[in-house]
Amino acid sequence: MIDLLINVSGVILIAAIIWWFWLSSVKAKTIDNSQLIEILVEDGVYSPARIEVSANQKFTLRFLRKDASPCAEKVLFEGLDKNLILPLEQPVEIELSLPTSGEYVFTCEMQMYRGSLLVKDSD
Ligand SMILES: [Cu+2]
C-alpha cells in the first residue's frame, strides 16, 4: 500500500514537472501591431516565454523583474551577443529586429529562466 502511494505521488510529481517546464511554456505570444511586449520575470519563468515575430520586424521587449533572487538579474540572448541587467521592479527595454528566421533563446545566467523568440519569414 505504501509502495503504491509512493508510486502515485511520483507520477504526480513527474506530471507536475513536465507541465511546469514544457506545457507552461508552449503558449506563444505573437507580436502584431503593438510591437512592444512586456515580459514578467517571476517565479522562475519568463511570461510570456515564447514570442513570435516576423523577420525584420522591429519590436521591443520590456522586461520587468519581480524576482529578487540574483539568478534573475541577467538576461543573455544566445547568438545575438546582447545581454541585459534587470534591476528589481524597474522595466528595462531592448529593441530588436532579427533578419533571419529561426529560434533565438534568451536565458538568465544559470539558464533557469528560459525564453525564446520565434522568428518567422515575413514573405
Ligand atoms: Cu538564473
Q: Distances from the Cα of 78 to the Cαs of 1, 51, 107, in angstroms?
A: 49, 15, 8
Between the CA of 107 and the centroid of ligand 1 the distance, in Å, is 8
Band (117; pLDDT cuts 50, 70, 90): very high
Between the CA of 101 and the centroid of ligand 1 the distance, in Å, is 27
Between the CA of 105 and the centroid of ligand 1 the distance, in Å, is 14
- Model pLDDT, residue 16: 63
Domains and CATH numbers, the chain: 28-120 (2.60.40.420)
pTM, two decimal places = 0.74
10 pLDDT above the threshold of 90: no
- Model pLDDT, residue 95: 95
- C-alpha grid cell for residue 97? 529586429
Between the CA of 108 and the centroid of ligand 1 the distance, in Å, is 4
26 pLDDT above the threshold of 60: no
Q: What is the pLDDT of residues 101-115, one digit of tens each?
A: 999 999 999 999 999
User: Distance between CA 22 and CA 17 in Å, rounded?
Assistant: 8
Look at 121 and 90; give whichever has higher pLDDT. Answer: 90
Between the CA of 45 and the centroid of ligand 1 the distance, in Å, is 10
- Model pLDDT, residue 3: 78
- Model pLDDT, residue 58: 92
Q: Cα-flanking dihedrals φ and ψ of residue 64, to 5°?
A: -125, 115
11 pLDDT above the threshold of 80: no
